Structure 1
Amino acid sequence: MKKILLAALCFLLAACGSGKNDNVAETIPDTTAVPKQIYATELVSRGPIAIDSSVYVIYPLPHDRAQNDDDSGSFLSSDGGRSITFWNIVFYNTATKKYHLLAENKKMIINSYNTSYSGSEYSSDSSAPVHYFPDTSQEGNYIFYSIIAEDVNKDGKIDSKDPTYLFSSDREGNNLKQISPRGTNVNNWEVVKKSGMVLINTQRDSTINNKSYEAPVISYAYDLKKANGPERVFSTEFNMATDKLYKGLWPVKKDK
């Protein structure tokens, strides 16, 4: 009887001992050499982010100098914090294992990259585009970007005092091009999918520098198929006729 009890006790102890290791994951050592420095591509705050149903994913590269560099993409958000901006984006082909940057030799601050084919949900004002975490863009064959890329006010840096332009690329991250007029700040935009037209509302860069939001809004249309450059939506003749009609219907009352 003692032998039976001893055997049963040994069995229970063995069972308990084996159970302790059931959920222990095997440790796989990192055999890569430890770098002497941290590289820019290792400072990835978001990603990998899949682009539609393709084999591509993106790794946005945050502008880590934003809080201590005067020449930076540091922007105050509506809650007083600093919104995340990016200085480039890596496109990675998971099938071929090849990768490339969105722009090889372009200094820029990427405020957002968008998938919804609409820029009406954000504001590009002089204090800073109010962004949470930007969304990816995958609809159709284009990705749209809100980018500051030119020192328009000639103060020796690119920042929120310079205009925000609208850029586009294909969904593989190639053929990056500016599609909004130079020297104008993009307020909002919309893509009409059936016609392939991008409608862009802008204001002159002086609006940014003077922090005045009463400057006239100029509407442009960009044809994604022709890619000839943005054109004004309304003609001068139409603007003059409409202005005359408005002033006639709603005359300014003179003070008595």
Structure 2
Amino acid sequence: MRIAVLASGGGSNLQALIDHFAAAGAPYGRIVFVASDKATSGALTRAAAAGIATGVVAVPQDGNALVEQLANAGAELLVLAGYLKLIPAAVVQAYHGRLINVHPALLPAFGGPGMYGQRIHIAVLEHGATVTGVTVHFVDEHYDRGPIIAQWPVPVLPADTPQSLGARVLHIEHRLFPLCVAAVASGSVVLGDDNRVHGHLPTPVSIATHDWRFSIAPDDTEPLSASAFGADLARLFPR
């Protein structure tokens, strides 16, 4: 499946996707186009370095023009990797069931307009939450809504700052997001006519049964292969 990615920032989640598909040599997915609403976005630099075609999304957004831009790239699956603009209805309709976002919190908590970047982690700490995490979901016409594909919790530690908490959450984003994109690209996970997610691994995570060691270590920065993380999920959540 030909994948397009929209990103607004530095592109670390985009890089995780690029690395995943390059390492896997996956026949089911290939990133063919990356666009940003910012011409100076680090995501565009990363894409160009990987030999991926790039473009700039017009602001204010024109939904029909963006659909045409994506169609010209041959995009079959659209992925939002830190893209901060609300997706126009025309794009949501054109890519229904083929439009995915990652959010650095456990939705529906700490989502919606204005909830992005460090603002999320500040809000988590201000509210005294003891757990946060990562959500990957299909996208609808609203901010941070749509059926959830997978979630992974990250405990909030007593000494956490927005920066330390955000770093641990981002580390999990880089692990979970590529696996979810690959699952949709391969057809293992689909959005059904009932607007519910159907398929298998990665499975939506139950906090009650989560093995906390995978996300509690503040200095856990070693990369984890897709096969290793997939094995962890399979062990924790057998079919």
TM range (shorter): under 0.3
* Richer in strand (by share): 1
TM-score (norm 1): 0.26
Larger Rg over CA atoms: 1
Structure ranking higher on relative contact order (CA contacts 8 Å, 6+ apart): 2
TM-score (norm 2): 0.27
* Richer in helix (by share): 2
